[in-house]
Amino acid sequence: MPAAGSDPSSSDGPEAFNGPKAINGPKAINGSGVLRVEVLSVVFQVRTPPAADGSDVRPALCVLLSRAGTDAEPGRWSLPGGDVAGDEKLSVVARRLVADKMDVRDIAHLEQLSVFSDPGRVPGIRTIASTYMGLVRSDSPVTLPDGAAWFDVDALPPVAFDHAEIIDTARHRLAAKLSYTNIAFALAPKQFPMSELSEIYCAALGYAVDTTNLLRILSRRAVVVSTGTVGKTGRSGGRPPALYAFADNELRVTDEFATLRPPM
């Protein structure tokens, strides 16, 4: 089991395709062709869409997309990304591209997802994608530029190339890690009532999560702690809810034996 606070997927390991360092856009390969390396990021945030009739709306796991499009896939939405500079680590490239292109700078957790290398994944020059998953807290304010938007992962627009597969891979990674790590710290506010945290788990896992059972599991693992304070009462009134917080703000494995239902 990895040591507390460590996660092999959160750094650029041997699968990250870091080299050769000289790569910066398409490069020749043994004189027989060219290769392009790009970084793509799947950025998730749990968001509550506005209700037109004022009724309650459940929070949803949303992904950040851009409609910049390409000549090969005009009008389609795509993940934020771009080419790799020769003097940057891939994780640095991922954060920079999301910040520069989407104006999203407060990523609470970023980890390497996978490498997508199918020779036909992008028309033309063979393009290898090193992908990352980033998480933004639900209360983090985000103002997107024109042409960018959040989409419910269950209601994606037409997306470019293999980006739907990349999003699905990230969604399953997140759901799996919710079972055995404290990764929800990067989706939740700094302080929260347990009812709000269970809604975040529900949105990310894709099924209902019992609040009492969730508190029991996370308390036993020392994942969440009581702040000793209370929040605001809801519209229905009643007793103010107790507020909780995550014990750590870095990823750590909490239990190698998952006790939540397997994801999706």
pLDDT of residue 2: 42
User: Does residue 1 have a pLDDT over 80?
Assistant: no
- Of 44, 70, 248, 75, the closest CA to residue 151 belongs to 44
Least confident of 65-79, 123-137, 141-155, 173-187: 65-79
pLDDT of residue 59: 95
Token readout for 173 is 């990674």
User: Does residue 11 have a pLDDT over 50?
Assistant: no
pLDDT of residue 16: 39
With a pLDDT cut of 70, the percent of the chain lying above it is 78
pLDDT of residue 33: 66
pLDDT of residue 157: 95
DSSP H helices in 39-161: 90-102
pLDDT of residue 18: 37
User: Residues 120, 124, 125, CA angle at the centre, nearest 5°?
Assistant: 90
Query: What backbone phi and psi angles, to 5 degrees, belong to 200?
Result: -65, -45
**Model pLDDT for residues 54-110, shown as the tens digit of each residue:** 667 889 999 999 986 566 677 899 999 999 877 889 999 999 999 999 999 999 999
Q: At what angle do helices 194-205 and 163-180 cross, to 10 degrees?
A: 140
Name the pTM for this structure: 0.84
Least confident of 64-68, 138-142, 172-176, 198-202: 64-68
- All structural domains of the chain, each given as residue ranges with its CATH number in brackets, are 8-178 (3.90.79.10), 181-246 (1.10.10.10)
User: Does residue 257 have a pLDDT over 90?
Assistant: no
Q: At what angle do helices 194-205 and 211-220 cross, to 10 degrees?
A: 100
With a pLDDT cut of 90, the percent of the chain lying above it is 69
How far, in Å, CA of 117 to CA of 199, rounded?
Answer: 35
Beta strand 242-246 with 224-230 is antiparallel
